Chains A and B, each alone.
Chain A
């Protein structure tokens, strides 16, 4: 059975150090997010008036802030937000990028020219600036900042998917399918899309750190999550206020962010070796 694509992938991935480390890091974040209520000693917005600005100790592992909230609990709950950003953000980008890429690559012609023009325009405008504009229009909230970042980042998917579609659509097995009567939407979904899955997985893992960091940046600027959210980006910006007195306020959410991004990056590197050595 180890000769099926999945079996082969499994046996090779166990030997890939990057992939395994990245996978373990990501797994730890997912587990933290899922079991946050049992891991965190306190609720993330539970104030302890008596213990404001406490340095890290045995009760408050990461110290407390100006409301006396346990920073460890806040970082743990913050993982949930990061996971939400990763999932929702990627979903929007992939859906948009894949749809546009498939249509452009498969039909070509006017559809291709118009949609690719749109793609190139989004590609050209500096990402954060465009995101700022979108958030300004939509209003400040985590969800809006995710949408903003996704509207900026989908173009990369569209380009790769388009190129891959164009090379796949002339493959003999696709021509054969047309010859026995397969309809075009089905060809895109059943024949072309499955053959792009490895490339897409690699692309997702390479884009994910950017999505997470950009969304954190918007939160840091006050345009994403609003207090009392335990968002790591927001926490860093709040920590900035007290950086001279209470270094820990900014450091721990920062480290959490770095840990996540490094993990996803390693996973991406590993996946690229495992799945598609020709990309990137």
Chain B
């Protein structure tokens, strides 16, 4: 089986959409369509960490669920390691289950409350054909790789702290030797000191095993720390995508600029800086504006923005911004 070399694309999507139908009441036939993810094109390469940032309703979690095969795409598809997730054969699907792992936000909800840590880690191994003894051995191995004492294997989730639960969830994700990890707000529910431990652990694992990460978060500080490239989503669409340091230094999309301006400074002395605050709330997916989705909040919106949806314009070969009038 040919595996992708370092730098080759492992997750590819071109115009991916996921729409949900909401029927608002029993007697009316008009159905609301929620465009949770709308025409997103993105490529993630082997061995890199891509950060996906967005506010609530941006569709970032839906995008992750499509990649994980938890929900089928509505238009176009996602290729993961060359496999079309929407049309995968049973064998391919099995391969995807092994190669793509996930860690969600909620530390206690991430683990089955009725299972010990050992049970949680062993389950995917047993499911993919490991004997009981082999699975146990592997569980001890991954515990060592996440620097956690074996004795926690016999604990139930309620006996563990948030950080420990999150470590067990990471151990379970690692058990099957995945190539890709989807991390959905992996540290949002944790304290600062624990967040630092988990972020460092995730980075160490990524480097040691040359994994590919998609880190989904609303926290730009986390994105800045861990990611090589970052994607910004707003109301289901990709706004900007490119190298993290380039975007953070010089954001081109007005939304990215607004997000960065809203990010609290870490130094009281910089408090007085000029802050172009975004007005209003992140809009609602139910009442999407015409044209560019960001135009009602955009300080630079012109007529064209109210009529047409901007394409993903390339600013440099590796940097795109979906804006008619990107900043210089």
User: Are chains A and B touching in the complex at the 8 Å CB cutoff?
Assistant: yes
Which residue numbers of A lie inside 8 Å of B, CB to CB?
Answer: 3-5, 171-173, 175-182, 191, 194-195, 197
From B10-18, B122-130, B262-270, the one touching the partner chain is B122-130
Given known pairs A3-B159, A194-B114, the reply for A180 and B109 (CB within 8 Å) is no
B172 touching A181, Cβ below 8 Å: no
B97 touching A179, Cβ below 8 Å: yes
Which residue of chain A has its CB nearest to the CB of B112? Answer: A173
When distances are taken between beta carbons in the complex, the residues of chain A under 8 Å from B169 are 176
B7 at the interface (CB under 8 A from A): no
Given known pairs A177-B123, A181-B94, A181-B124, the reply for A172 and B109 (CB within 8 Å) is yes
B113 touching A179, Cβ below 8 Å: no
Given known pairs A4-B156, A181-B97, the reply for A175 and B114 (CB within 8 Å) is no
B43 at the interface (CB under 8 A from A): no
Q: How far is the CB of A4 from chain B (nearest CB, A)?
A: 7
- A-B residue pairs in contact (CB < 8 Å), sample of 27: A5-B158, A171-B109, A172-B106, A172-B110, A173-B109, A175-B65, A175-B68, A175-B70, A175-B102, A176-B103, A176-B172, A176-B173, A178-B70, A179-B70, A179-B97, A179-B101, A179-B102, A180-B97, A180-B101, A180-B128, A181-B94, A181-B97, A181-B98, A191-B112, A194-B112, A194-B114, A195-B114
Contact with A along B87-120 (1 / 0, CB 8 A): 0000001100110111111100111111000001
Q: How far is the CB of B45 from chain A (nearest CB, A)?
A: 22
Q: How far is the CA of A3 from the CA of B154 in the complex (A)?
A: 11
When distances are taken between beta carbons in the complex, the residues of chain B under 8 Å from A191 are 112
B176 touching A176, Cβ below 8 Å: no
When distances are taken between beta carbons in the complex, the residues of chain A under 8 Å from B112 are 173, 191, 194-195
Which residue numbers of B lie inside 8 Å of A, CB to CB?
Answer: 65, 68-70, 93-94, 97-98, 100-106, 109-114, 120, 123-124, 127-128, 156, 158-159, 169, 172-173, 176
Q: How far is the CA of A197 from the CA of B172 in the complex (A)?
A: 25
Q: How far is the CB of A171 from chain B (nearest CB, A)?
A: 5
Q: How far is the CB of A236 from chain B (nearest CB, A)?
A: 43
Highest count of chain A CB atoms <10 Å: which of B65, B106, B109: B109
Q: How far is the CA of A258 from the CA of B105 in the complex (A)?
A: 51
When distances are taken between beta carbons in the complex, the residues of chain A under 8 Å from B98 are 180-181
Q: How far is the CB of A222 from chain B (nearest CB, A)?
A: 45
Q: How far is the CA of A178 from the CA of B70 in the complex (A)?
A: 7
Q: How far is the CA of A178 from the CA of B65 in the complex (A)?
A: 11
When distances are taken between beta carbons in the complex, the residues of chain A under 8 Å from B120 are 173
Q: How far is the CA of A195 from the CA of B109 in the complex (A)?
A: 12
B156 touching A173, Cβ below 8 Å: no
Q: How far is the CB of B221 from chain A (nearest CB, A)?
A: 23
Which residue of chain A has its CB nearest to the CB of B102? Answer: A179
Which residue of chain B has its CB nearest to the CB of A175? Answer: B70
B127 CB contact (under 8 Å) in A172, A175, A181, A197: A181
Q: How far is the CB of A108 from chain B (nearest CB, A)?
A: 13
A173 touching B102, Cβ below 8 Å: no
A175 touching B104, Cβ below 8 Å: yes
B124 touching A180, Cβ below 8 Å: yes
Q: How far is the CB of A267 from chain B (nearest CB, A)?
A: 23
Given known pairs A4-B156, A181-B124, the reply for A173 and B111 (CB within 8 Å) is yes
Q: How far is the CA of A178 from the CA of B169 in the complex (A)?
A: 14
Which residue of chain A has its CB nearest to the CB of B110? Answer: A172
Given known pairs A3-B159, A172-B106, the reply for A182 and B127 (CB within 8 Å) is yes
The 7 nearest A-B residue pairs measured at CB: A181-B97, A172-B104, A180-B124, A194-B114, A172-B109, A179-B68, A172-B110
Extra contacts, 12 of them, besides A172-B110, A175-B70, A180-B128 (Cβ < 8 A), are A5-B114, A5-B156, A172-B105, A173-B112, A176-B104, A179-B70, A180-B98, A181-B93, A181-B97, A181-B124, A191-B112, A195-B113
Which residue of chain B has its CB nearest to the CB of A180? Answer: B124
Q: How far is the CB of B308 from chain A (nearest CB, A)?
A: 37
Q: How far is the CB of B28 from chain A (nearest CB, A)?
A: 17
B128 touching A181, Cβ below 8 Å: yes
When distances are taken between beta carbons in the complex, the residues of chain A under 8 Å from B94 are 181
Which residue of chain A has its CB nearest to the CB of B95? Answer: A181
Q: How far is the CA of A176 from the CA of B70 in the complex (A)?
A: 9
When distances are taken between beta carbons in the complex, the residues of chain B under 8 Å from A180 are 97-98, 101, 123-124, 127-128, 176
When distances are taken between beta carbons in the complex, the residues of chain A under 8 Å from B158 are 5
Which residue of chain A has its CB nearest to the CB of B159? Answer: A3
Q: How far is the CB of B258 from chain A (nearest CB, A)?
A: 30
Q: How far is the CA of A191 from the CA of B97 in the complex (A)?
A: 18
Which residue of chain A has its CB nearest to the CB of B96? Answer: A181
When distances are taken between beta carbons in the complex, the residues of chain A under 8 Å from B110 are 172-173, 176
